[in-house]
Chains A and B, each alone.
Chain A
């Protein structure tokens, strides 16, 4: 008997085994691109210019989404993230959660929480939902609305409160950007007040449709220096002890986009195939994209091998690919933040 945390020895050992075997334990399935917010940083498309996607005919049907869930199960998934867009805008969300549960998966939602009220929480619980990651964009309604074009801060925190009361496994994803930087302490303390664990993300990437503007509100080097010397500095330090360069893309992780496109990770938009045209197992086993990623060696990350700041680098290959088109390369922000972390660490030692 062991606890359920991925870090517990039993679970961690089996995850390591799945990593070696290339078994996609952690898929993310985008069930829609429709969203009830218009976040400035959205990687789907520029929602500040158009409210709804112009590619709705390309969306997977509900039957195709259910079939994708079954294929993921057969391929070895255990935890499944249903994401979007905003997954709760999908009229068949309960059906998908129920299907994942029937397949003995652990369904989670990546949501902004605005549609998650008491009644929806009950319905999702009955359908078999286990957990939620609720995105937080500000500690004040004003900041939240500036970034998302709609008030929602109260609803997002209320979603966390309801989800906690209902016994879901929850996490607040605090997205750090230029507009909410000064509210970080408040966002953290509001999570702590609710007894909710949180994770911080400063990763904002170019849009997958290449439209400009997503990174206009990304924090810069000066912001990172300020964060590192703030009361929460510890949360932004990173020590890459093993000088690791690779992640779980195409090993324990896989992403399926709203239109059936298959990626090594939902954050790494490198097209490997489409489940509308090919069986998922075939793409997973035979895609040259996946094969190439799985066979990457340390030497392939050329700029990393000569980098002085690798000890403090938390590179995300997917994010770097989205920003530069080079999965093994580097981008200016990753380099700058690693340099700053390294410099501050050397000054302190």
Chain B
């Protein structure tokens, strides 16, 4: 299953950042910088980590292998914070 933002996590883009309001699980607020925000906005269950890395690599002109490492680390962090499924 591809990673997906949980349906009961509230969020919105503000400028280049994303504000996440987890009012359900750990009851915390988080902000994401523009790089993480780009990944976050594509966590819709349709994109695999590889596809997410490709989006990141294209937007920020980094190589796909470094992008994949960054994406995996980010996804792991989101999972620990109970923000995503898959």
Residues of A within 8 A of B (CB): 1-4, 8, 10-11, 14, 17-18, 21, 23, 25, 73, 76-78, 101-102, 104-106, 128, 130, 169
B14→A17 contact, CB < 8 A: yes
Question: Whole-angstrom distance between the alpha carbons of A42 and B31 in the complex?
Answer: 39
Task: Tell yes or no: B50 within 8 A of A by CB.
Answer: no
Task: Tell yes or no: B19 within 8 A of A by CB.
Answer: yes
Residues of B within 8 A of A (CB): 5, 7-15, 17, 19, 21-23, 26-31, 81
Chain A residues positioned under 8 Å from B5 (CB to CB): 104
Chain B residues positioned under 8 Å from A128 (CB to CB): 7-8
A76→B28 contact, CB < 8 A: no
B31→A21 contact, CB < 8 A: no
B30→A2 contact, CB < 8 A: yes
Question: Whole-angstrom distance between the alpha carbons of A73 and B13 in the complex?
Answer: 10
B14→A3 contact, CB < 8 A: no
B15→A78 contact, CB < 8 A: no
Chain B residues positioned under 8 Å from A10 (CB to CB): 19, 29-31
A101→B8 contact, CB < 8 A: yes
6 more CB-based (< 8 A) A-B contacts, given A1-B29, A1-B81, A78-B19: A2-B30, A4-B22, A17-B15, A21-B14, A104-B7, A169-B23
Question: Whole-angstrom distance between the alpha carbons of A199 and B38 in the complex?
Answer: 38
- Write 30 A-B pairs (CB below 8 A) sorted by A numbering: A1-B26, A1-B28, A1-B29, A1-B81, A2-B28, A3-B27, A3-B29, A4-B28, A10-B19, A10-B29, A11-B29, A14-B14, A14-B19, A14-B31, A17-B14, A17-B15, A17-B17, A18-B14, A21-B14, A25-B14, A76-B13, A76-B14, A78-B10, A78-B11, A101-B7, A104-B10, A106-B21, A106-B23, A128-B8, A130-B10
Question: Whole-angstrom distance between the alpha carbons of A4 and B27 in the complex?
Answer: 7
A187: shortest Cβ distance to chain B, in Å? Answer: 27
Chain A residues positioned under 8 Å from B15 (CB to CB): 17, 21
B60: shortest Cβ distance to chain A, in Å? Answer: 22
Closest to B12 in A: A78
Chain B residues positioned under 8 Å from A17 (CB to CB): 14-15, 17
B29: shortest Cβ distance to chain A, in Å? Answer: 5
Chain B residues positioned under 8 Å from A8 (CB to CB): 29
Chain A residues positioned under 8 Å from B29 (CB to CB): 1-4, 8, 10-11
Chain A residues positioned under 8 Å from B13 (CB to CB): 76
Known contacts A8-B29, A14-B31; is-contact A105 B10 (Cβ 8 Å): yes
B28→A3 contact, CB < 8 A: yes
A82: shortest Cβ distance to chain B, in Å? Answer: 15
A130→B12 contact, CB < 8 A: no
Question: Whole-angstrom distance between the alpha carbons of A10 and B21 in the complex?
Answer: 11
Chain B residues positioned under 8 Å from A169 (CB to CB): 23
One of A25, A101, A102 near B12 (C-beta < 8 A): A25
Closest to B81 in A: A1
A31: shortest Cβ distance to chain B, in Å? Answer: 19
Known contacts A11-B19, A169-B23; is-contact A104 B31 (Cβ 8 Å): no
